[in-house]
Amino acid sequence: MADMTPKILRGRLLSFSTAPKGPDDTDAYSYIEDGALLLRGGKIAACGEFADVAASADEGTAIIDHRPHLILPGFIDTHIHFPQAQVIASWADQLLDWLNDYTFPAEMKFADKAHGERIAKAFYDALVAHGTTTASAYCSSHPASVDAYFEEAERRGMLMLGGKTMMDRNAPADLCDTAQSAYDDSKALLKKWNGRGRAHYVVTPRFAITSTPGQLEAAGTLLREYPDCHLQTHINENHNEIAYTLELYPEAADYLGVYEGFGLLGRKTLLGHCIHMNDRELGVMRETGSVAVFCPTSNLFLGSGLFNKAGLEQAGVRTAIATDVGGGTNYSMLRTLDEGYKVLQLQRQRLHPLACFHWITLGNAEALSLQDRIGTLEPGTDADLVVLNARATQTMALRMETAESLSEELFVLQTLGDDRAVVETYAAGKALKS
């Protein structure tokens, strides 16, 4: 539920209007040293200098003073697995062994609605603790897990995307649906949840290995019937995964050709990983406006490979960044940026901290086509916010003694920060962390 009582948050405001082209691109963002937001009805009613915002508010409006901390739009995680909260940190070889040995057994437990409800509470507690206000999640293949997921989001007033994982082969029988039941269950869940409060339904075939052609066909049918829905799946993460996919779909030109053939690509399509892409796939990604989702902690943990951000963007492909918990090893978008920065360093690609914080806010909002609702501090958008303390730990405080600019402070936050740097998280104007 949105918090309807108007209030003023005072602090150092940072919000982006476009992707910073470099360290000196001050046009790309707005930074207000003594700034304030007026929150009303779960939305940002005003944003500006504290003195101006305070003067415009009704007398007696409560003021929450977050100085000297930074206030940013809440972080957005574009790819995460809700039923993998107990899979995170599992010692495995690479993707396919990790799925079979840890992930599928853990997801089977979500046949029990009570288990899903318990994990949903813990999952949202983790998101909020880490400053994430929106995420796009894979639920398990059980419809009850989708209900547990969206019910808990509704309780907290959070804008969340997600859907039932569709999977009808190459997994334990108890986890498998069929092409028809996945279609029927997804459609029923979509009708129940999509657009209810802040919920967005995502058609979610896990990946080509665990879906028959009939099931991918059903996913394409759902997308045509409900074109405002997103689609999420995985692609080109791991060499064994790619080889197996091409065996299962010998007629496809390449991995992306499988999804392309079933009409699954478009501006609302989120493709996790996109590490090992060929030129044809890059061209199709660009033409369809599909989004390549970078999952650095997962790619390192599972030894999957290095995401070529510059190569994708030079080819005109839209990109996003995400945790991919439980293949990913942290809920924090700050930890995710830190690992992402290192993945790019290994390829001699340098990412500036301003570009990093744009990416986890407005950049990811644009990747989800939700930039009119979330990802900025623009008046009229939803009051989803994070309050950050760059001196949260002794290590950070010591380093901050010599930081001389906003960019340096942001770099300290992304390199050393985690949930301890998140002072408060607001969803629809309501403080959820403290």
Chain residues binding ligand GUN by CB under 6 A are: 81, 95, 99, 103, 206-207, 234, 237, 298, 324, 327
| DSSP-assigned beta bridge partners for residue 273 | 235
Question: Among 400, 403, 396, which residue's Cα sits nearest to residue 421?
Answer: 396
Alpha carbon distance 95, 85 (integer Å): 17
Of the pair 206, 391, the CB lying nearest ligand GUN is at 206
260 binds, among ligand GUN, Zn ion, none (CB under 5 to 8 A by kind): none
Can you give the length of the chain in residues?
434
Of the pair 127, 421, the CB lying nearest ligand GUN is at 127
Q: Which residue has the tokens 């999977």?
A: 167
Of the pair 38, 95, the CB lying nearest Zn ion is at 95
171 binds, among Zn ion, ligand GUN, none (CB under 5 to 8 A by kind): none
H or E element, residue 161? strand 161-163
Instruction: Report in angstroms how near the CB of residue 240 gets to ligand GUN at its nearest.
Output: 11
Instruction: Report in angstroms how near the CB of residue 140 gets to ligand GUN at its nearest.
Output: 10
In degrees to the nearest 10, what's the CA dihedral of 73, 76, 82, 85? -80
Instruction: Report in angstroms how near the CB of residue 354 gets to Zn ion at its nearest.
Output: 28
Of the pair 2, 209, the CB lying nearest ligand GUN is at 209
Phi, psi dihedral angles at 276 (to 5 degrees): -105, 75
95 binds, among Zn ion, ligand GUN, none (CB under 5 to 8 A by kind): ligand GUN
In degrees to the nearest 10, what's the CA dihedral of 24, 379, 73, 57? 110
143 binds, among Zn ion, ligand GUN, none (CB under 5 to 8 A by kind): none
10 binds, among ligand GUN, Zn ion, none (CB under 5 to 8 A by kind): none
Using Cβ positions, the residue closest to ligand GUN within the complex turns out to be: 327
207 binds, among Zn ion, ligand GUN, none (CB under 5 to 8 A by kind): ligand GUN
Q: Residue 15 corresponds to which tokens in the numbers above?
A: 């919000």
206 binds, among Zn ion, ligand GUN, none (CB under 5 to 8 A by kind): ligand GUN
Q: Which residue has the tokens 């853990």?
A: 106
Greatest extent of the chain over all pairs of C-alpha atoms, in Å: 69
Helix H, strand E, coil C: the string for 378-426 is CCCCECCEEEECCCCCHHHHHHHCCCCCHHHHHHHHHHHCCHHHEEEEE
Of the pair 163, 429, the CB lying nearest ligand GUN is at 163
Of the pair 239, 420, the CB lying nearest ligand GUN is at 239
Instruction: Report in angstroms how near the CB of residue 324 gets to ligand GUN at its nearest.
Output: 5
Instruction: Identify the burial level of 182 via C-beta atoms within 10 angstroms of its C-beta, where 0-12 means exposed, 13-18 middle and 19 or more buried.
Output: buried
DSSP string, 112-124: SHHHHHHHHHHHH
Instruction: Report in angstroms how near the CB of residue 324 gets to Zn ion at its nearest.
Output: 4
Of the pair 42, 83, the CB lying nearest ligand GUN is at 83
162 binds, among ligand GUN, Zn ion, none (CB under 5 to 8 A by kind): none
Instruction: Report in angstroms how near the CB of residue 323 gets to Zn ion at its nearest.
Output: 9
Residues near Zn ion (CB under 5 A) are 272, 324
- Cβ atoms 87, 326 nearer than 8 A: yes
Instruction: Report in angstroms how near the CB of residue 79 gets to Zn ion at its nearest.
Output: 6
Of the pair 89, 398, the CB lying nearest ligand GUN is at 89
Instruction: Report in angstroms how near the CB of residue 162 gets to ligand GUN at its nearest.
Output: 14
Torsion-angle region of residue 31: left (phi > 0), alpha (psi -120 to 50) or beta?
beta
